[in-house]
């Protein structure tokens, strides 16, 4: 029985236990989670999806991600900022996304706000809260992974002060984990410390 530490995957390489619970999680764990994400639109997408995840499991969002991308025009800030009341009604009727009125309204409001920011401003602000990578030891078990940190609380406070909605310390930390501001892959996980997706073991001569 696992003690919460890395578990061998289908290829024998150790991974964080959550990454082996479904095929969707395995792909996400190996190719995306914890890898650096830059760009205002890309970070806006992650910010929105983390907000939609609030109160739900991440797998619920992950399996609807393509639906979200279609519904929100690829999460292009300039495009979403121009959504009309008709678009809002369309979103509320779209079964391919989470039809939560408050979360949809927050997404539209955030896009309108961010459309007024300078290019790169969102990227710069979010990444300014990336902690020193040497400041915290690698988590050994899932119990060692925090849900909130001082940095995530400060990031959420800054974003809310600037007018962004539906962002709290827990959502901010999930964003930091997903976008590579922190590396919370467990000590011994094949994906830890790797900016590139996990690939097959190199062949030995």
Q: How far is CA 38 from CA 41, 121, 170, in A?
A: 9, 11, 20
Rounded to 5 degrees, what are φ and ψ at 127?
A: -70, -15
Catalytic residue status for 58? yes
SS3 7: strand
Identify the active-site residue in 32, 58, 117, 127.
58
Instruction: Spot the catalytic one: 50, 129, 151, 173.
Output: 50
117 among known catalytic residues: no
Marked catalytic residue, from 25, 28, 129, 173? 28
Q: How far is CA 53 from the centre of its chain?
A: 10
Nearest to 16 by CA among 113, 103, 8, 144: 8
**DSSP letter assigned to residue 164:** -
**Cα separation of 185 and 133, whole Å?**
13
- Cα 8 from chain centroid (whole Å): 24
User: Pick from 56, 10, 17: which is nearest to 189 by CA?
Assistant: 17
- The answer to whether 121 is a known catalytic residue is no
Q: Which residues are marked as active site?
A: 28, 50, 58
């Amino acid at each position: 029985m696992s003690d919460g530490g890395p578990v061998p995957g289908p290829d024998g390489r150790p991974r964080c236990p959550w990454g082996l619970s479904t095929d969707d999680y395995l792909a996400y764990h190996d190719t995306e989670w914890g890898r650096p994400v830059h760009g205002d639109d890309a970070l806006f997408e992650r910010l929105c999806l983390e907000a939609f995840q609030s109160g739900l499991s991440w797998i619920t969002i992950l399996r609807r991600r393509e639906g979200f991308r279609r519904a929100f025009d690829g999460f292009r800030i300039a495009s979403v900022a121009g959504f009309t009341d008709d678009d809002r009604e369309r979103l509320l009727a779209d079964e391919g996304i989470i039809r939560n009125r408050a979360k949809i309204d927050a997404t539209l409001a955030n896009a309108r706000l961010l459309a007024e920011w300078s290019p790169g401003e969102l990227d710069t602000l979010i990444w300014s809260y990336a902690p020193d990578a040497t400041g915290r030891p690698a988590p050994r078990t899932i119990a060692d992974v925090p849900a909130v940190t001082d940095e995530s609380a400060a990031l959420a406070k800054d974003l809310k002060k600037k007018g962004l909605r539906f962002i709290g310390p827990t959502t901010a930390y999930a964003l930091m984990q997903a976008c590579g501001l922190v590396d919370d892959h467990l000590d011994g996980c094949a994906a830890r410390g790797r900016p590139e997706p996990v690939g097959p073991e190199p062949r030995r001569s």
